[in-house]
Each structure stands twice: as structure tokens, then as C-alpha cells.
Amino acid sequence: MTKPRPIDPTLVPPLVETPQRRFNLRRIKRRPNMKTALIALVVILAAGLLLPFAAPQNPYDLSTFSVMDNRLPPGERSLDGLTVWLGTDSQGRDMVSAILYGMRVSLLVGLAATSLALSIGVTVGLLAAMFGGRIDALLMRLVDFILGFPSILVALVLLAVIGRGVDKVIIAIVVVQWATYARIMRAAAMVERRKEYVEAAENLGYPSWRIMFRHLLPNSIGSVLVVATIYVAHAITLEATLSFLGVGVPVTQPSLGLLVASGFEFLMSGEYWISLFPGLALLVLIFSLNLVGDRLREALDSRRS
């Protein structure tokens, strides 16, 4: 963990009485590996946004590349005169473009799935904490049911039924992830639920939805948000795994996981670049997301301020 730094006594407040929920950006900036992770993430996000300009080719438009150029090693020139810095895949796609587009898919899936799952999970958790009793029991048994199966299995079965595509993958990830948020949200909200201010609000006759979203939500969302940052990376990994297994995105629109999978069979022939570079890109993406999420947790963690 972190090394204790020498403490300047003048900077230490005499007594901390209220929990600080201040987002401490300075602390994030001070860690060098943190800086790298942040930069990597910003670059990836920027590349994803500026994609049509950043990529030399649209790898999802089959007419922009040719099978005549397939499996070119890094640095070769394609028939159109494009230098393929990271080589081409088995269909003749420029790997640089394929990786950039694949990253965009990964980010899209990660962010969309997480925010959807978060909204559903938070609502369910709040409902369970607010009303307790049978509603709580029912919702939590449902959560137990979902959490009882390995997430990859649930997603596989689901995709086998509903078919493939980016939207379907997002749905599958939401289905396996919302339960975690619901469980954490419920625990946090239950604690708040018993506090006096909630009781006071109830006695004042406020409607339940108001108590749920105006009182319970802001005071218990912190821990869920921390989990969410880590789960973005988890969602991306899940998408890559599902695509690797061949049930995720369509083969003509490869994501990072699918690129790794399609390059797999060429490794034996020494054509390493089809698998290796998308794999590295995925590694960097997940690693920086996890690192940022980790530090974000420390920054948000009131007990350590």
C-alpha cells in the first residue's frame, strides 16, 4: 500500500469531526503510476471520441480493406499504399484501426453496461431497504439467484438465446451486474434507513420516493460508486471474454476480445501481431481503469481522510 509521508504538523487539522467527502485530486496526481494510468485513460478516451479522424481506415466497412492484404507483418505497405504499423489481420484489416475501433466498443460496452446496471441496482437496493419485509425478501432472493451463478455462465446462456451484437452484450452484462449494486446499495441504505433524519422525514409525511431518492440515495451512494469504477473494467473484461468465446460482437465488427481470438490460430505460424497488440491494448485499458478506480476509492474513502 502507500508509504507514510512525513507530516507537516501545520497542515493537520486539530480534530476531524465530520467525515470529509471531498474528492482529493491532488493526492491522485502525486502518484507517478497513477499519472501514467490517467494519461493512458485520457488518450484512450480521446482516441475513442476522435475515432473517425484518428484511424487510418474504417475496419467495420468491409469495402475499405482487401483480403489481398491479409496477415501483413507490422511496418509493411498495403496495396493502397497505407503503412500498417501493427500489421493486418486475416481479413486484411489495419490493426491500428481495428484496435482503435475495438477500444471504442470496449469503452462503450463498459460505460453503457455499468451505468444501466448501476441505475437498476441502485433502484432495487433502495426499494429493498425502504420497504423491507416481503419486498426486501423477494428482491434479495432474486439477487441471490443471479449472484449464485458465475457471471460468465449467465451471460453465455443469455447470449445464446438472444443472439449477438453490441446491444445484446450490454444487456447480458447488465443482467449479471445489477445484482451486485443492488446488494451493496441495500446494505448501505439500510444503515441510513434507521437514522433519525430518515425517521423525521417519515414522520413529516414525506412520500417514500422522496425519502428514497432525496435522503437515502445521496447518503449511501458512495460505496456503490466505488464499486462501479472497478466494475467498468469488469464489464470490459466480460465483453472481451464473451467475444473471445465467439458469442459477443459480430465477426465483421471485431472488438478487442474478438481480435485476440481471431489472431489466436495464427500464433503457431509466427503471426503474433493479430493477437498480441489488441491484447496489449486491452491490458493497458483494464489496468489503467483499475488503477484509477482504486485510487478513486481511496480518494472517496471518508475513513482515511
Binding site for another protein (CB under 8 A): 61-63, 65-68, 70, 90-92, 164, 237, 240-241, 244, 246, 250-252, 257, 260, 264-269, 272, 275-276, 279, 282-283, 286
Contact in structure between 84 and 96 (CB atoms under 8 Å): yes
CB of 65 to another protein, least distance (A): 8
What one-character DSSP code corresponds to residue 249?
S
Of 28 and 62, CB closest to another protein:
62
Please give the Cα distance from 127 to 143 (Å, whole number).
13
Of 203 and 269, CB closest to another protein:
269
Q: CA dihedral defined by 151, 290, 170, 119, rounded to 10 degrees? A: 90
Of 64 and 305, CB closest to another protein:
64
Please give the Cα distance from 165 to 113 (Å, whole number).
14
CB of 58 to another protein, least distance (A): 12
Q: CA dihedral defined by 291, 297, 299, 305, rounded to 10 degrees? A: -130
CB of 230 to another protein, least distance (A): 15
Name the strand (E) or helix (H) holding 77.
Answer: strand 76-77
Q: CA dihedral defined by 21, 31, 295, 36, rounded to 10 degrees? A: 130
CB of 244 to another protein, least distance (A): 6
Of 162 and 251, CB closest to another protein:
251
Task: Give, in order, the Cα–Cα distances in Å from 89 to each of 131, 257, 305.
Answer: 55, 14, 49
Of 112 and 286, CB closest to another protein:
286
Of 57 and 91, CB closest to another protein:
91
CB of 163 to another protein, least distance (A): 8
CB of 281 to another protein, least distance (A): 11
Contact in structure between 28 and 295 (CB atoms under 8 Å): yes
* Grid cell 497488440 in the structure block, residue: 277
